[in-house]
């Protein structure tokens, strides 16, 4: 049996699972859990010291699920406390603040911390990850848009939700889907079910959308050297158009990336004799 599979897995019987929260300090991990478990929101920031632990019961289909929630502190200071709690986990709530780009960029480092602490025999493939793009109520400060977050999550086979612990938007839906996915995983012998979207676009498409998003000018966007010829621009354009055409590519953000490539080509061709 896999190390992090829960002990009891007969259908219809109760099941014990362990879930943890992960993400930078102040992104809203504790508030998301509080909103779901206590139906309330606290606007004052009370940093989690080390770990908060809670138990809750939920019903998924005919099974009663006993959930042990370990709400982790995001501050680097608590690394030594956190690292004891990664093992034997079935589900991770991975949170970032849509108004704090740093917290989004830190998601890979959080996965790396967990992987390192699980050690060489730890398996991240049989853990359900629910990515929460939190604080969507703060629309004015938003700097990580939905397609960027969704692309990151879905290209890793993770669930993705837009949430606000303040208004409650997306919170129940997130937990319900999260728990159902964990039960499915337990009943599926510990294999994470592939989401439709993660199976339907390639790593090349996801990487290309990210590259286009971060490109500094039209040359860079098409992947050609400044001063390239019409033929070179057209060749690069055709390659990207085939890869990203909305009829062919369902990766989040592909439509915007496709439009940006069309505009970049038009702008460059105008100035090439
Ligand atoms: P650590 O325990 O330090 O790792 O932080 P945390 O990720 O648990 O953050 P916490 O839930 O304590 O929330 C941090 C701050 O963000 C608090 O002031 C919350 O009131 C606020 N907050 C949390 N979620 C939301 C949200 O969805 N919208 C808004 N506007 N504020 C939120
Ligand atoms: Mg907290």
Output the residue whose Cα is nearest ligand 1's atom 11: 28
What integer pLDDT is reported at residue 10 of this predicted model?
A: 56
Output the residue whose Cα is nearest ligand 1's atom 19: 43
Structural domains of the chain ordered from first start: 15-188 (3.40.50.300), 203-271 (1.10.287.110)
Ligand nearest to the CA of 75: 1
What integer pLDDT is reported at residue 188 of this predicted model?
A: 79
The Cα-based distances of 195 to 98, 154, 200, 204 in angstroms read 23, 8, 9, 18
Q: Is the CB of 74 under 6 A from ligand 1?
A: yes
Neighbours of 238 (CB within 10 A): 11
What integer pLDDT is reported at residue 1 of this predicted model?
A: 44
Q: 31 C-alpha vs ligand 2 centroid, how far in Å?
A: 7
Asked if residue 187 lies in contact with residue 17, where contact means CB atoms within 8 angstroms, the answer is no
* Paired tokens of 122: 């730890």
pTM, two decimal places: 0.86
**Segment (H or E) for 137:** none
**Segment (H or E) for 22:** strand 15-22
Half-sphere exposure of 142 (CA within 13 A, CB side): 17
What integer pLDDT is reported at residue 12 of this predicted model?
A: 60
Asked if residue 39 lies in contact with residue 89, where contact means CB atoms within 8 angstroms, the answer is no
Asked if residue 68 lies in contact with residue 46, where contact means CB atoms within 8 angstroms, the answer is no
What integer pLDDT is reported at residue 62 of this predicted model?
A: 87
The Cα-based distances of 257 to 72, 207, 244, 251 in angstroms read 36, 11, 7, 10
pLDDT along the chain (273 residues), means of 10: 54 84 98 96 95 94 94 95 93 98 98 94 91 97 96 94 98 97 87 59 92 95 95 96 89 94 95 82
């Amino acid at each position: 049996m896999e190390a992090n599979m829960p002990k009891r897995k007969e259908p219809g019987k109760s099941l014990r699972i362990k879930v943890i929260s992960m993400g930078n300090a102040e992104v809203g991990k504790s508030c998301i859990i509080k909103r779901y478990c206590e139906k309330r929101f606290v606007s004052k920031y009370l940093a989690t010291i080390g770990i908060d632990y809670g138990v809750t019961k939920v019903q998924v289909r005919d099974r009663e699920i006993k959930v042990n929630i370990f709400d982790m502190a995001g501050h680097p200071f608590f690394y030594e406390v956190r690292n004891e709690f990664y093992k034997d986990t079935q589900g991770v709530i991975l949170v970032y603040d849509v108004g704090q780009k740093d917290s989004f960029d830190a998601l890979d480092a959080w996965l790396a911390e967990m992987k390192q602490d699980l050690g060489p025999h730890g398996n991240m493939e049989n853990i359900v990850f629910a990515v929460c793009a939190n604080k969507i109520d703060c629309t004015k400060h938003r700097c990580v848009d939905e397609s960027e977050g969704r692309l990151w999550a879905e290209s890793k086979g993770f669930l993705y939700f837009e949430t606000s612990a303040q208004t409650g938007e997306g919170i129940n839906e997130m937990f319900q889907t999260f728990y159902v996915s964990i039960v499915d995983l337990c009943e599926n012998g510990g294999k994470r079910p592939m989401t439709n979207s993660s199976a339907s676009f390639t790593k090349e498409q996801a990487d290309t959308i990210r590259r286009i998003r971060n490109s500094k000018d039209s040359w860079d966007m098409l992947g050609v050297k400044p001063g390239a010829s019409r033929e070179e621009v057209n060749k690069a354009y055709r390659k990207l158009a085939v890869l990203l055409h909305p009829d062919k590519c369902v990766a989040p953000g592909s439509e915007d990336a496709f439009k940006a490539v069309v505009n970049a080509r038009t702008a460059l061709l105008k100035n090439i004799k």
